Structure 1
Amino acid sequence: MPDRRLGAGARIAAYRRLNRLTQRGLAARANVSHSLLTKVETGSKPASQSFLAACARALSIPVTHLTGQPFIEQQAEDRLSGPLNDLRASLENFDLTLDDLPVRLLADIRPDVRDMVLARRDAQYARILGRAPALIDELVQQSQILTGHDAEQAHHLLVQLYRSAADVAYALGLADLVSLLLARMDFSASRSGDPYQVATYRYMRAYSTFTTGRHEVGQKIIRAALADIDIGVRAADPVAVCAAGNLRLRASILATRQGDAEAARGELAEARHLADMLGREVTGSDLATGCAGAMSYGATNVAIHSAAVELELGNHRSAVQLAKQVHVPSGYPPDRIGHHHIDTARAHLLIGDNDGALTSILKARQVAPQKARYHPSVRETIASLVHTSRHTPDSLIGFAHWAGVQL
């Protein structure tokens, strides 16, 4: 297996040779540009997530083989290995009552789950891993002991907790753990008595198709979720509108991965209409209080995705211009801001603006350091910056060492 310390381009080249494919052969099989493949393999261009997924599918390997995930050294440095094992152990039980397991009342557990939701939005992976296993044990026990509405509430809280943990597992490149958490989400969502928890599960399931390249499956999942909550959307229920808006945004990115610009922009238009219908940003404290279980949503999220869609479609200058128009309100989720800066950095790099790319990467680290440390696009951008810079600034060298990028 190719060295994990290699860049994605070098790993693509190594697996291509193992499969006895020429560059043109792999480009044809993956349906990607031959010239782009050449540039990615030499390190002069960063590989996008969609590009990596296409190559991985063509090579019949997990995409994490190309991204180099999981980043074992960084996990060890951040002391995540033990908590990850605890999380896996907690997921063994989802439907059994255990003897002598002390549990608190749901009213006492709920604030801790809210804290995990907010930790997810802050991209605080260690905080989630440190507390989620014990909370899962408590809530599974309560979901089996309680009956009626109380049991549904326990499952509702479990969906939120599983989602927070799934975001961490996805960020760390642990595909098997993501699949297990999705299965647990499905189990509890179907028992929560809340169609919006089912929508949350489907939203996350569609997300997982990004890494496999099965975008057509993701679109089917989203269509089913939208149909389930259509009545709530028509009634202008804020929770339904938030869910539908996020599903539309996810559909827009899936459409770009399928190369369908018209469909992507159509989904954005639907999402923009839903943001107008909502009339405000749902963030922060709304999640577990006024809009219990709602996904955060609003015009800012639509603006961020508008730039991301143009980036995915290859319109890099348009992406940069749209990114400049994003105005982040106070209290906006750091996880989402960090992702926006990561995407913007890649757009700057692709138009030859290395200074702009580095500035955006540093902003991502400032607002969401754990996200920046583990996001494979960050490593790709840093590696390309090093490759294409005449003089490597100290800030870039320091960032590369911090993120574990081999210079």
Structure 2
Amino acid sequence: MAGIGERIAHERRISGKTQAQLAREMDYSIQMVKAVEQGRKPAAPGFVNAAARVLGIEPEVLNGTPYRDTLEEEGTLEGIAELRAILCEGEYVRPLEPPPIPELRASMKAIDDYDRKGKSRLALARLPKLIRQLYGAMHVSPEPAVFELLCRAYNAADRMCRRFGFMSLTIPAIDRYDWAAARADDPLAVAVGKVMRTRLLVYQDSTDLALMLVDRAIADAHGDSEEALSVIGAAHLAGAVAASRALRLDTARGHIEEARVIGARLGFETRAYETLFGPANTEIHAVGVELEAGDPGRAARDGSALILPKSIAQTRAGHLWQDIARAWVLSGKPEQAMKSLNVARRIAPQQTKLHPAVRETLNAVVALEKRSTGSTGEFARWLNVSPT
């Protein structure tokens, strides 16, 4: 299985850069560059984004996403071609005859529920029709409720595109979200758009602008309602991710502490704006911060000790165990890493199969193992890859 490290080395040679030059321009150590290129350490998302920026290519080139062969194992990815067409149509979306608003709300909730439970294929398959129906409703009666649902639909579109590796489609999805939010008569929806865009900026290694948008989103979200707290909390978590990817550990930990305060006030994992913010999600992000910019051993231990509520989204729990696996690898413990990967697989199989970090972690496990194990081979067969 060609790993991200091999792709970085290939693109680096094409660019004419030495490992020392790449490391200097990325602001990473040459030891880290060598370890990633040799497959001894998994490439963190922040590392990949920085390498892509320096090499002048898209991060997808290094990640190798979307994994089309893997996606096609379960048949055609229904809905992605139609969603791409809708995003190309912009504000001129071809409408469909809409059902009443309550039925549109029920359809939107079902899509969010499918995605939350890790059944994102079902969510994606149903999303394009709903968007066209919402445009039909907008033409009949352009009321704020319709634009509110369009916000939710484009939020889901952004998540679906990221989930399946079609990162270039997140750009028009977020743009269309902002267009709908400006017409939804909801200042919090506008703030959510800023939080969504931070993820895109982090992916493009644009940390300063991402952190500026986090501050603006926090300033825009007023009040003590569940909705306001969910947006403020989600903004702090977005800030923690952005700062940790840029190795700004103090800033990242500061956002985590602020999120903990807000999470304690809220007291549960909220579904408002599908931020999934709450005390448990904050601790999941705290593990990610330590993994990216702090102490991987601490991330592995703290993450393994977390007791998540039953209400936590399966996608969030799956992501936690993917991070724990990478943390164990970085701590030199491949056996614990494989156990964690299998926990992630059990909780959120679809997400685990498609996440670039999972393949990187598997390659690093193989590099660390003195001899191949049945667990490693079985997991590789499940991913439909040949570990290097």
**TM-score, normalisation: structure 1:** 0.91
SS of residue paired to 2:79: helix
The within-5 A match list for 1:88-99 is 88-96=84-92
Identity among equivalent pairs (%): 29
Q: Which residue of 2 aligns with 1:216?
A: 208
Q: For 1:182-230, what per-residue CA distance to the aligned partner results, in whole angstroms no more than 9, with x for missing partners?
A: 111111111111122212221111011222100111111111111111x
**Distance between the aligned counterparts of 2:368 and 2:72, measured in 1?**
31
Shift of 1:34: 0.5
Q: Which residue of 2 aligns with 1:311?
A: 291
Corresponding residue to 2:139 among 135, 144, 151:
144
**Distance between the aligned counterparts of 2:298 and 2:94, measured in 1?**
56
SS of residue paired to 2:66: coil
**Distance between the aligned counterparts of 2:17 and 2:380, measured in 1?**
31
Question: Which one-letter code corresponds to 2:216 in the other structure?
Answer: A
Corresponding residue to 1:302 among 282, 290, 293:
282
**Distance between the aligned counterparts of 2:94 and 2:32, measured in 1?**
55
Residues 83 and 328 of structure 1: CA distance in aligned 2, closer, same or farther (over 3 Å): same
**Distance between the aligned counterparts of 1:224 and 1:297, measured in 2?**
18
| 2:269/2:311 contact within 8 Å kept | no
Whether 2:184 is the aligned partner of 1:196: answer no
Q: Which residue of 1 aligns with 2:118?
A: 123
**Distance between the aligned counterparts of 1:403 and 1:145, measured in 2?**
47
Shift of 1:274: 0.4
Q: Which residue of 1 aligns with 2:247?
A: 259
Q: Which residue of 2 aligns with 1:9?
A: 5
Question: Which one-letter code corresponds to 1:390 in the other structure?
Answer: K
Q: Which residue of 2 aligns with 1:105?
A: 100
Whether 2:22 is the aligned partner of 1:42: answer no
**Distance between the aligned counterparts of 1:78 and 1:28, measured in 2?**
42
**Distance between the aligned counterparts of 1:324 and 1:393, measured in 2?**
22
| 1:382/1:405 contact within 8 Å kept | no
SS of residue paired to 2:288: helix
Question: Which one-letter code corresponds to 2:334 in the other structure?
Answer: N
| 2:86/2:93 contact within 8 Å kept | no
Question: Which one-letter code corresponds to 1:209 in the other structure?
Answer: L
| 2:118/2:351 contact within 8 Å kept | yes
Shift of 1:98: 5.3
**Distance between the aligned counterparts of 2:309 and 2:322, measured in 1?**
18
| 2:94/2:135 contact within 8 Å kept | no
SS of residue paired to 1:91: helix
Shift of 1:93: 4.1
| 1:159/1:189 contact within 8 Å kept | yes
Question: Which one-letter code corresponds to 1:218 in the other structure?
Answer: A
Shift of 1:294: 5.4
Residues 383 and 111 of structure 1: CA distance in aligned 2, closer, same or farther (over 3 Å): same
The within-5 A match list for 1:226-305 is 226-229=218-221, 231-232=222-223, 236-282=224-270, 287=271, 291=272, 293=273, 295-305=275-285
**Distance between the aligned counterparts of 1:97 and 1:345, measured in 2?**
42
Q: Which residue of 1 aligns with 2:354?
A: 374
Question: Which one-letter code corresponds to 1:392 in the other structure?
Answer: S
Shift of 1:304: 1.1
Residues 50 and 376 of structure 1: CA distance in aligned 2, closer, same or farther (over 3 Å): same
Work out the number of aligned pairs and report it: 387
Shift of 1:326: 1.4
| 2:338/2:376 contact within 8 Å kept | yes
Q: Which residue of 1 aligns with 2:159?
A: 167
SS of residue paired to 1:104: coil
**TM-score, normalisation: structure 2:** 0.95
Question: Which one-letter code corresponds to 1:280 in the other structure?
Answer: F
| 1:383/1:405 contact within 8 Å kept | no
Q: For 1:125-152, what per-residue CA distance to the aligned partner results, in whole angstroms no more than 9, with x for missing partners?
A: 21122100100100111123214xxx21
Residues 191 and 42 of structure 1: CA distance in aligned 2, closer, same or farther (over 3 Å): same
Q: Say which is worse superposed, 82-91 or 360-369, in terms of deviation.
A: 82-91
SS of residue paired to 1:330: coil
Shift of 1:280: 2.7
**Distance between the aligned counterparts of 1:317 and 1:361, measured in 2?**
16
**Distance between the aligned counterparts of 1:247 and 1:123, measured in 2?**
23
**Distance between the aligned counterparts of 1:252 and 1:120, measured in 2?**
24
Q: Pairwise CA RMSD of aligned residues?
A: 1.7
Q: Say which is worse superposed, 313-322 or 241-250, in terms of deviation.
A: 313-322
| 1:48/1:377 contact within 8 Å kept | yes
| 1:281/1:296 contact within 8 Å kept | yes
Q: Which residue of 2 aligns with 1:156?
A: 148
Shift of 1:383: 1.1
Q: Which residue of 2 aligns with 1:76?
A: 72
Corresponding residue to 2:363 among 383, 393, 396:
383
SS of residue paired to 2:24: helix
| 1:317/1:347 contact within 8 Å kept | yes
Whether 2:172 is the aligned partner of 1:184: answer no
SS of residue paired to 1:192: coil
**Distance between the aligned counterparts of 2:85 and 2:216, measured in 1?**
32
**Distance between the aligned counterparts of 1:154 and 1:6, measured in 2?**
45
| 2:233/2:263 contact within 8 Å kept | yes
Shift of 1:82: 4.6
Whether 2:52 is the aligned partner of 1:67: answer no
**Distance between the aligned counterparts of 2:321 and 2:93, measured in 1?**
45
| 1:43/1:383 contact within 8 Å kept | yes
Corresponding residue to 2:129 among 130, 134, 152:
134
| 2:332/2:368 contact within 8 Å kept | no
Shift of 1:121: 1.6
